[in-house]
Amino acid sequence: MIFCNNSSIPSNNLRTKIIRHGDPIKLNFGGFVPLSTVDWRGRSVCTVFLRGCPLRCSYCQNEEIQAGEDWREIKEVFEMIDSSLPFISGVIFSGGEPTMQKEGLIILAQYVKKLNLAVGIQTNGFFPDTLESLLSKELADKIAIDYKTTWEGYSGTIGGYYPVVKDNYERTVLKSIGICKKAYEKKALDEFEVVFTIFYENQEYIMEISKKIGDVPLVLQQGEHKMPVLRNTASEMTHGEYIHNKRIQQEEHPPLKLNEIKEIAEKLDKPIRIRTRETGEVSYAGHRRRRASRKR
Ligand code: SF4
């Protein structure tokens, strides 16, 4: 859907507010997609990518912005958003890890809200304080937490900021889920979802985590193996052995198909949305739940 937004002329006053002590706020910038109809169901949005991420997931699609620097004045990002105004009803902040740049993200979200657009955040959940601040200021309409399982090798340190140990991540992501869940239940957050990227290897983890996080909207997203650098989780192998094993694994285990993911969803026994490359997004209520609702 493409529609015209009435707030297509941003105010200069809004921009001057972000100059602090004479120095403009800068952001470590990762990229910009001016128009997307797939990143937020039911909306056309633009997507701002912020650079830097403390995790190192084995299948990361945005490896090139996990680290490095590209500092831009925030007004440059405002201008990018402005350029999409005639076509969008919201802005997604993604990364890298957008919540890592708390101050800049909050200012961006304030800018977006003042343009009467919706704010969506895609996060790995590692910075609950940022989520709490956004929610307390009513600056987020949608939060999608991408929950990384230990299998995904998120603790890699190569080119990273600092080693992220398993307990640290689990503790912080669970805190983030708790914060968002509360806001969602109180209707202070319109849309909330926990997303698992699913491979044949991490199904068991997902079962465990799903029990731990309770009743939250879940998405199972079809994962696709890359040639990852899972050095922390495969430290006993040489690099050559690792690459060889991984290649075999990729050949033997292509991405799970919709029906296979539905089988996993069935075991989770809760309403789930499933995203695959082949079919896009579908809702899955599960046989058991459907049977139970027919009996009522
Ligand atoms: S959380 Fe993982 S997938 Fe997301 S940007 Fe960081 S390394 Fe990549």
Q: Which residue has the higher pLDDT, 25 or 87?
A: 87
Whether 5 is covered by a domain: the verdict is no
Average pLDDT, the chain: 84
Whether 1 is covered by a domain: the verdict is no
Pocket test for ligand 1, best of 124, 162, 224, 226 (most atoms within 8 A of CB): 124
Whether 7 is covered by a domain: the verdict is no
Whether 275 is covered by a domain: the verdict is yes
Which pLDDT value is given to residue 205? 87
Contact 105, 56 (CB under 8 A): no
Distances (CA, A) of 134 to 19, 59, 138, 203: 20, 28, 6, 32
Whether 24 is covered by a domain: the verdict is yes
Shortest-distance Cα residue to atom 3 of ligand 1: 60
Task: Show contacts of 17-21: CB within 8 Å, 24+ apart.
Answer: 18/74, 18/75, 18/107, 18/111
Which pLDDT value is given to residue 238? 75
Q: Which residue has the higher pLDDT, 233 or 273?
A: 273
Average pLDDT over residues 46-59: 90
Which pLDDT value is given to residue 292? 61
> Does the CB atom of residue 122 touch ligand 1 within 6 A?
no
CATH of the domain at 212: 3.20.20.70
Pocket test for ligand 1, best of 53, 126, 196 (most atoms within 8 A of CB): 53
Which pLDDT value is given to residue 291? 62
pLDDT digits over 142-196, tens only? Answer: 999 999 887 666 665 544 445 566 678 889 999 999 999 999 999 999 999 999 9
Whether 120 is covered by a domain: the verdict is yes
217: pLDDT confidence band, cut at 50, 70 and 90? very high
Which pLDDT value is given to residue 136? 98
Pocket test for ligand 1, best of 48, 122, 154, 168 (most atoms within 8 A of CB): 154
Whether 4 is covered by a domain: the verdict is no
- Domain count for the chain, please give it: 1
Q: Which residue has the higher pLDDT, 50 or 234?
A: 50
Q: CA 129, CA 131: separation in Å to the nearest integer?
A: 5
Q: Which of 62, 79, 227 is nearest to 146 (CA)?
A: 62
> Does the CB atom of residue 140 touch ligand 1 within 6 A?
no
Shortest-distance Cα residue to atom 2 of ligand 1: 57
Whether 6 is covered by a domain: the verdict is no
Its domain, for residue 232, covers 12-295
Q: Which of 37, 191, 70 is nearest to 122 (CA)?
A: 191
Which pLDDT value is given to residue 8? 38
- Which ligand 1 atom sits nearest the alpha carbon of residue 124? 1
Contact 55, 124 (CB under 8 A): yes
Average pLDDT over residues 44-60: 91
Q: Is pLDDT at 7 greater than 60 in this prediction?
A: no
Which pLDDT value is given to residue 17? 46
Q: Ligand 1 centroid to 86 CA: how many Å?
A: 30
Average pLDDT over residues 24-48: 95
Average pLDDT over residues 103-114: 97
Contact residues for 33 (Cβ-Cβ < 8 A; gap 6+):
39, 46, 47, 49
